[in-house]
Amino acid sequence: MPALVLLGAQWGDEGKGKATDLLGGSVDYVVRYQGGNNAGHTVVVGDQKYALHLLPSGILSPGCTPVIGNGVVVDPSVLLSELSGLNERGVDTSKLLISGNAHIITPYNVTVDKVTERFLGKRKIGTTGRGIGPTYADKINRVGIRVQDLYDESILTQKVEAALDVKNQMLTKLYNRRAIAVEQVVEELLGYADKLAPYVADTVLVLNEALEQDKVVLFEGGQGTLLDIDHGTYPFVTSSNPTAGGACTGAGVGPTKISRVIGILKAYTTRVGAGPFPTELFDEDGEALRRIGGERGVTTGRDRRCGWFDAVIARYATRVNGLTDFFLTKLDVLTGWEQIPVCVAYEIDGRRVEELPYSQTDFHHAKPVYEMLPGWNEDISKVKSFSDLPKNAQAYVKALEEMSGAPISAIGVGPGRTETIEINSFL
């Protein structure tokens, strides 16, 4: 049964867009199952660079049906401007399907995201400020607005009223902001209804029927394993489940349908926002990784924090996702270092620890234990087969594979669509 999950094995930004896009030509459906426009995929097609935030990267592959699943939170204004931006560049977006059960990021959710972050001060999460957390909070509090609500004005009004009831008290009394008018929100949301209507569908039914017909379905996670609300570095996480189980709940397919789970793994580590990061570098090596790797957020434009590869995290990702394969990205960025440190374990309060500690306190105290691997100087961006990589680059990949617990089935050696070494086919 060809249902694949593709997700970030670290803190996001591992280069998922490139991997999804590589498979996009041979898959029938590409599905996003969680997150919203906090994600950022960069896909390079020919000399064109596309930055996608909410849309599944399959939108760039003709023949592929892109799906926004029920687990996603949708900001309609962002979605419509992303669609028109693509249309202006000649990309056909008419096949897109959006779950009627997906929740809508309303303007007040964005406001609440920003004011609460400001209120947290030093303790802030460093969110993308796109309203993601507050929208999921409304979903769990059962005061969320769903895409289907746009098509019943009376219900929509009642739901917006319910959602703003407490929020307006909070905004005015606690945060000293103006109250948000129900009518204004309802009017704005209704303005999106007709524009979104052609895309709204029962995506659960569509996807399950597709799987019954043996179509290839690719579930594309946003963010990454360590940003997962349950399995990540809580509370410095996003508010959804990028890990593999999230594909089931966020798209409405049973776990028995998933045949392969591919973890995207950067050859080093990056993170945006606050929170612990044991291999983070504050020296010229970190600066060099940022510069050479172009490590600046696609969504927020923030510089990413950079550090060496962390095998403890990779092993953890294998475990919590049941990974069957890795796609190793950005190996080319490491070209030119004489020796490359790789974190093989942590030292926590004088103890050597091989696996990710479940205690937040321990993780905050974790210091990386490094093993040095020899580097290479040759340009590897044109290499097409594993055996043509410099010997030390081969050894680096093999070492990572051994430490991480799943086979590395593809390697990214440059940003372009074709700059990939395929070792095992994903399909």
How many whole angstroms separate alpha carbon 269 and alpha carbon 288?
A: 13
To the nearest 10°, the Cα dihedral for 48, 49, 53, 59?
30
DSSP category for residue 317: H
Cβ contact 404:312 at 8 Å: no
Q: Is 41 among the residues known to form the active site?
A: yes
Binding site for ligand IMP (CB under 6 A): 11-13, 38-40, 125-128, 130, 132-133, 222-223, 227, 236, 238-239, 272-273
Amino acid at the residue 248: C
Minimum gap (Å) between residue 364 Cβ and ligand IMP = 15
Smaller CB separation from ligand IMP, 2 or 17: 17
Minimum gap (Å) between residue 257 Cβ and ligand IMP = 26
Minimum gap (Å) between residue 36 Cβ and ligand IMP = 8
Question: Active-site residue among 21, 41, 75, 113?
Answer: 41
Smaller CB separation from ligand IMP, 56 or 133: 133
Smaller CB separation from ligand IMP, 85 or 126: 126
Smaller CB separation from ligand IMP, 225 or 324: 225
* Helix/strand/coil percentages in the chain, nearest 5: 40, 20, 40
Structure-token pair, residue 146? 């769903």
Minimum gap (Å) between residue 47 Cβ and ligand IMP = 25
Helix (H/G/I), strand (E/B), else coil: 257: helix
Amino acid at the residue 352: R
Smaller CB separation from ligand IMP, 236 or 326: 236
Residue facing ligand IMP at closest CB distance: 273
How many whole angstroms separate alpha carbon 273 and alpha carbon 355?
A: 24
Structure-token pair, residue 202? 């029962």
Can you spell out the DSSP letters for 177-189? -PPPPHHHHHHHH
Return the residue matching tokens 């028109």: 84
Minimum gap (Å) between residue 333 Cβ and ligand IMP = 17
| Planar angle of CA 248, 8, 334, nearest 5 degrees | 165
Residues recognised as catalytic: 13, 41
